[in-house]
Structure 1
Amino acid sequence: MIQELDTLLTQDEIQLDIEEIILKNKDNKIKGWKDSMNYLYNFSIKSGYIQEERLKLNIILPLFYKHQYDIGFQVTINCSKPEIIVGQVVGAAHYSNFEGECVICFENVGSEKRKGLRAYEFKCNQSILFRQFPPYPYFNYHNIIIDKKHTPQILSRNTIIEMLEMSESMPSYKIASNTDRVGTGATNLAHRHFQAGDHDFTVFYAKPLKEFKINNGDITVQWLNYPCCCLKIIGENKKLVEEIVFKLFNSWRNGTFETLDVSLQTCSLMSTLNIKNNNYEFLIFPRNAQQPRFLTSSTLQCIKKEFVGIFELCGFAILPGRLKEQLLQLNSILTLNENQLNDQLKEKLNQFGFIEFYDWLSEYYFNGFDNSKSIYDNLTFALQKSFLIILSDNSPIKLNQFELLNSWIEQSKILE
């Protein structure tokens, strides 16, 4: 019998309750994972681990469609979590006060420092993983899935196998992995983990620029018309999808590309089982850790200094909370300066400590200013435009680099 939610429930009791929920719904996998996550989410709210009030501080802008891709991008300003910049110490106690070897180690579950944290353990491809909610979820059912063993984040064929296995056991849920190279998304490379959630990501609606049919049409590989390079592998046969994904992953990782440092090659990944057609859909975003070549450009560093992660690659921008106040202050400065781009604006920005925004305002705000909208609305529009450029900045293959993409496909030998 599933117990009533009680903040005193131990990790073992929570584990048994979730196992019971999943067993009860063994013939309805979707209901099983959703009910079990609702149970854990409600406990995490009641225990105070998820700070729901802080989530209400976040700003979610309307979907952004004014671009060439004909899909809606979601830009958010996340005011509930600190801005995490590699090389800088995070001030929030959650990130600096932990048990075990790092902040996501299993030793934190139910510990004195994380009294309200509980998790669900499960076996996947011979590994013991556990999933837990972060204190500040980005969207519906946002979970972190973590190796119970503190082991480094290293992408391999097993990563692909595990993602597909989890997709099979949790249909429609999105399983994602950041990279294993500094500067390409992951903030914790010391401990292997996945990101996951039930968000309706923009990238799944992107149309193909080019399409390849493999194994008599059993597998489709699409190069998507999207700001950053993404290959979408579609197929009903899990093993075939795994083989094609691994060939592409391995050839990107170990291939020969004249313009790229192969030692810095890596990928961001996402997998799901589409319940509408029973196809696995696996996304590969090629990455390269060469800096600053494939980092957010200097003009856009004022918007996002953090590395771009997998959810953002999928079209869900997670911009720092400081922008909430900064946009209001920029609105005031521009109003004082009669919305003019001149030396006086530069002086005012410098006076108020906003000089790093000058080039951004020049390129993204004044360029394309809409007189029918307010200054603030034009600022948020510039923010949305900037996100698409940030995605492109972080991609080692641009939309017009057909030769580089074709070289990758050829070296993978998926068409043989």
Structure 2
Amino acid sequence: MMIDERLNELVHYALNKAMIDEQDVIFCKNQLMEILKLDESVTTPTPEKKAEHRALAEILDDILDWAATKGHLQNNTVTERDLLDTKLMAVFVSQPSEVTRSFRQIQHKDGVEAATAWFYEWNQDVHYIRRNRIAKNMNWKTPTDYGEIDITINLSKPEKDPKEIEAAKHAVSSNYPLCLLCKENVGYAGRLNHPARQNLRTIPVELNGGEEWHIQFSPYVYYHEHAIVLAAEHVPMKISVRTFQRLVDFVEQYPHYFIGSNADLPIVGGSILSHDHYQAGKYEFPMARADEEETEALEAYGDVTVSKVKWPMTVLRVKGTDKQHVVQASEMIRQTWQNYQDQTVGVLPFSGDTPHHAITPIARFREGKFELDLVLRNNRTSDEHPMGIFHPHEEVHHIKKENIGLIEVMGLAVLPGRLKKELNQLGDAMLTVQPEKEIAQNEEIAKHLEWALKIKGRYGDLDMSNIDEILQQEVGNVFSTILSHAGVFKRDIEGQDAFLRFIRSLK
């Protein structure tokens, strides 16, 4: 009786969210029963909408718990539960062509901003974006010399338990889909080593004079309407003039969105370099609000200007009313940077034949102009900094040691989930009679010892009422330092003079 009621509740959820019509109710219930190997139903869901009493995740959890008791989940792990609840939700998900048709109808009637807002909500309703997990993330803002920067501790990706890790080792390997970004993921059932995607849908978009690309939302949502724009073909990432053309083409069609690309080299690039893709969304990042300092006119490119941006990383802002002029000027800057050398500040483009210079580009359409922020990157390493000279240095690895990708370049720190527990423990230890001893003997937070003692030295009135806020502020300060580590031309006099020399070399 319990499982029958839960399935009815799930059907009514889909009805209330307009994912199905009244005449679909019995059909969908039967589809759910087939998945769960149920031969008969005790009650038939009514075709009328009912008031919602519980969140989708609660309904699904009850169904999954029942499935575990009946042996439908071998180990009842997060991965197995995700595979099954995605299969259940796929019962209510429209065909890709129908989703695109709905998107275009809204776009035609109410505009593209309304269409992306609908699609974003739809992705949450079908449980592709899991609201319950996104709600776990910690978020705050930290004031810095460069304005407020955004901090998030990512808790939306569940940690795998040992059973899942072991099961994945023995799972059948497959080259289909080739990667997590391929369009072949749409509707894919998934397996233990590849997430279920039956509830994934994408919206086609044409870029660069006819190339097929697709828009989907990230299941992890680091910011509002966090979208992924992916190439239809599985081709590696490569920053070129075509990249700039695609970015400005996109913001021309979606002027309420920014769009950007990770650099195309290891260390300074993103986590997936094997499939060309961009990230976009309806969100104003801190870097977009940063002041423009020195500005130069690029007279060979119409009204295009290039400005030095006040930011801990090295950013040029290219602006103009004509998108082709902006694209051409940006390509000229990329080519100039590719071979640019300034030994006085350690800017070297090659080690032998190995290139080190790259660019992280971000596009917007703002106040009638196309903008391309070009963030200069370099992935050179040294004995002192084996993970990267322009990469988080060892003294900040207790907070973050991973690559600084596109999202963080723009001023949103995506920090590891371990920090939530560590900061709670660290705050408690810092308020004890012997904080140094308490921290040093705790393996999980010992790495924070030097940092914590410096904080205690700066604040004379730490107590339970302020310790959390102070630690958050100090984490933000560390992230600002991390961004400065990734800056090629530093924010000191010598570095900024060198940056201006580069700008004045542009023609």
Sort the TM-score into its range (normalised by shorter chain).
Answer: 0.7 to 0.9
Q: Which residue of 2 aligns with 1:86?
A: none
Q: Is contact 1:77–1:320 with CA below 8 Å preserved after alignment?
A: yes
Aligned pair partner of 2:379 in 289, 310, 334: 289
**What CA deviation, in whole Å up to 9, does each residue of 1:301-352 have, x standing for no partner?**
111122111121111111112111111011122223455xx4x25xx43433
Aligned pair partner of 2:333 in 204, 228, 248: 248
Whole-angstrom distance in 2 between the partners of 1:116 and 1:159: 29
Q: Which residue of 2 aligns with 1:349?
A: 440
Whole-angstrom distance in 2 between the partners of 1:366 and 1:97: 52
Alpha carbons of structure 1 residues 68 and 102: separation in structure 2 relative to 1, 3 Å: same
**What CA deviation, in whole Å up to 9, does each residue of 1:267-292 have, x standing for no partner?**
11110101xx2111211111111232
What letter is aligned with 1:261? L
Higher relative contact order (CA 8 A, sep 6+): 1
**What CA deviation, in whole Å up to 9, does each residue of 1:364-409 have, x standing for no partner?**
x235325266222221111011110010111211112134313422
What letter is aligned with 2:412? F
Q: Which residue of 2 aligns with 1:404?
A: 498
Whole-angstrom distance in 2 between the partners of 1:19 and 1:351: 56
**C-alpha deviation, 1:98, in angstroms:** 8.6
Q: Is contact 2:422–2:444 with CA below 8 Å preserved after alignment?
A: no
Please give the residue correspondences for 1:128-143 in structure 2 after superposition, counting only pairs within 5 Å: 128-143=212-227
**C-alpha deviation, 1:82, in angstroms:** 6.2
**What CA deviation, in whole Å up to 9, does each residue of 1:51-97 have, x standing for no partner?**
11111111111x322x333x2111121211369xxxxx9x999xx99
Question: Identity of paired residues, percent?
Answer: 25
Q: Which residue of 1 aligns with 2:249?
A: 165
Whole-angstrom distance in 2 between the partners of 1:382 and 1:97: 44
Aligned pair partner of 1:335 in 424, 428, 431: 431
Q: Which residue of 2 aligns with 1:72?
A: 148
What SS does structure 2 have at the residue aligned with 1:76?
A: strand
Q: Which residue of 2 aligns with 1:269?
A: 361
Whole-angstrom distance in 1 between the partners of 2:365 and 2:442: 53
Whole-angstrom distance in 2 between the partners of 1:376 and 1:23: 48
Aligned pair partner of 1:312 in 408, 429, 441: 408
**What CA deviation, in whole Å up to 9, does each residue of 1:192-232 have, x standing for no partner?**
00001111111122122322123298222111121111111
TM-score for both structures, normalised by structure 2:
0.71
Q: Which residue of 2 aligns with 1:156?
A: 240
What SS does structure 2 have at the residue aligned with 1:72?
A: strand
Aligned pair partner of 1:59 in 138, 163, 170: 138
Alpha carbons of structure 1 residues 367 and 167: separation in structure 2 relative to 1, 3 Å: farther
Deviating more after overlay: 184-193 vs 6-15: 6-15
Q: Which residue of 1 aligns with 2:207?
A: 124
CA RMSD of aligned residues (A): 2.7
**C-alpha deviation, 1:40, in angstroms:** 2.3
What letter is aligned with 1:391? L
**What CA deviation, in whole Å up to 9, does each residue of 1:149-179 have, x standing for no partner?**
0000111100000000101111131011111
What SS does structure 2 have at the residue aligned with 1:14?
A: helix
Whole-angstrom distance in 2 between the partners of 1:255 and 1:332: 49
What letter is aligned with 1:76? T
What SS does structure 2 have at the residue aligned with 1:112?
A: coil
Aligned pair partner of 1:220 in 268, 292, 305: 305
Whole-angstrom distance in 2 between the partners of 1:367 and 1:177: 41
Q: Is contact 1:75–1:317 with CA below 8 Å preserved after alignment?
A: yes
What letter is aligned with 1:64? T
Whole-angstrom distance in 1 between the partners of 2:356 and 2:158: 28
What letter is aligned with 2:488? P
Alpha carbons of structure 1 residues 368 and 220: separation in structure 2 relative to 1, 3 Å: farther
Q: Is contact 1:49–1:117 with CA below 8 Å preserved after alignment?
A: yes
What letter is aligned with 1:278? G
What SS does structure 1 have at the residue aligned with 2:364?
A: strand
Q: Is contact 1:59–1:78 with CA below 8 Å preserved after alignment?
A: yes
What SS does structure 1 have at the residue aligned with 2:431?
A: helix
**C-alpha deviation, 1:136, in angstroms:** 1.1
Unmatched segments (≥5 aa) in structure 2:
1-16, 21-91, 160-164, 191-196, 350-354, 382-387
Alpha carbons of structure 1 residues 350 and 310: separation in structure 2 relative to 1, 3 Å: same
Q: Which residue of 2 aligns with 1:260?
A: 347
Q: Which residue of 1 aligns with 2:157?
A: 81
Whole-angstrom distance in 2 between the partners of 1:324 and 1:356: 15
Alpha carbons of structure 1 residues 412 and 350: separation in structure 2 relative to 1, 3 Å: farther
Q: Is contact 1:299–1:360 with CA below 8 Å preserved after alignment?
A: no
Whole-angstrom distance in 1 between the partners of 2:181 and 2:215: 10
**What CA deviation, in whole Å up to 9, does each residue of 1:244-299 have, x standing for no partner?**
2111122112333332331111011110101xx21112111111112321110112
Whole-angstrom distance in 1 between the partners of 2:102 and 2:429: 55
What letter is aligned with 1:220? T
Alpha carbons of structure 1 residues 214 and 282: separation in structure 2 relative to 1, 3 Å: same
Q: Which residue of 2 aligns with 1:192?
A: 276
TM-score for both structures, normalised by structure 1:
0.86
Whole-angstrom distance in 2 between the partners of 1:50 and 1:182: 29
Alpha carbons of structure 1 residues 380 and 132: separation in structure 2 relative to 1, 3 Å: same
Whole-angstrom distance in 2 between the partners of 1:98 and 1:139: 31
What SS does structure 2 have at the residue aligned with 1:73?
A: strand
What SS does structure 2 have at the residue aligned with 1:268?
A: strand
Whole-angstrom distance in 2 between the partners of 1:362 and 1:412: 46
Q: Which residue of 1 aligns with 2:54?
A: none
What letter is aligned with 2:397? Q
Deviating more after overlay: 349-358 vs 179-188: 349-358
What SS does structure 1 have at the residue aligned with 2:148?
A: coil
Alpha carbons of structure 1 residues 45 and 369: separation in structure 2 relative to 1, 3 Å: same
Whole-angstrom distance in 2 between the partners of 1:5 and 1:370: 57
Q: Is contact 1:101–1:150 with CA below 8 Å preserved after alignment?
A: yes
Q: Which residue of 2 aligns with 1:9?
A: 94
What letter is aligned with 1:409? I
Q: Is contact 2:258–2:362 with CA below 8 Å preserved after alignment?
A: yes
Whole-angstrom distance in 2 between the partners of 1:207 and 1:45: 35
What letter is aligned with 2:179? C
Aligned pair partner of 1:112 in 183, 189, 195: 189
Which structure: larger Rg? 2
What letter is aligned with 2:287? V
What SS does structure 1 have at the residue aligned with 2:458?
A: coil
**What CA deviation, in whole Å up to 9, does each residue of 1:120-154 have, x standing for no partner?**
11211132100111111111111000001000011
- Structure that is richer in helix per residue: 2
